[in-house]
Structure 1
Amino acid sequence: MRLLTGISIASLIVSIAAVVFVLGLYEELDKSGSESRENNSLACAELLAISGSITFPEEKGTRFDYDKAVDNYHTTIKKVDADRKKLGC
C-alpha cells in the first residue's frame, strides 16, 4: 500500500513538472514571437499576394447579395491593411 502511494505521489510530481516545463516553453515562444519583426518578408509577400487576389464583386444577382459582397470586400481589405501595418510592410 505504501509503495502504491509512493508511486502515485512520484507520478503526480512528474506530471506537475512536465506541465510547468511546457508552460515555460509556451511563454518563451510568446516572448520571442514566432516570427520577428525584422524577418517578416514571407508574411509581407503573402499579404501582398492576398491583396492582389481580392477582386471587387460584379453586380450579378440581387441587390442584397451585391451589397453584402461589397461589405465583405471592404472588410477583407481593411484586415489585410491592418496586418500589413502591424508587420511593417
Structure 2
Amino acid sequence: MSGDGLAARRRRIGRLTVAGQRLGYLLYLVAAALFFTGLATSFRNPVVTATIVCLLVGSLVLAPSIVFAYAVRAADREEPLPED
C-alpha cells in the first residue's frame, strides 16, 4: 500500500474514532440523565429500557473507538505520517 493511501486511511480511522468516542460518551450522558429522571419520578418500563439501550449501544460504540484510537496513536508514534 502506498504511503499516501496509508496516510489517508489512518486519518479516516482517526476521524471515525473521534466520532465514535463522542457518540459513546453522549449515549452514556443520556443514560445517566434518563436514570436520574427515572429516579426522581418513578421508574417506568420505557425509561428503564431506554437507559439500558443507551448503556449497551454506548459501550458497543465506545470500546472499539478507544481501542482504535490507541492503535492510531501507536502507529503515528511508530511511523509518523508526512504533513500535508
Higher helix share: 2
Structure with larger RCO (C-alpha < 8 A, sep 6+): 2
Normalising by the smaller structure, the TM-score range is: 0.3 to 0.5
Report the TM-score, using the length of structure 1 for normalisation.
Answer: 0.42
- Which is higher, the Rg of structure 1 or of structure 2? 1
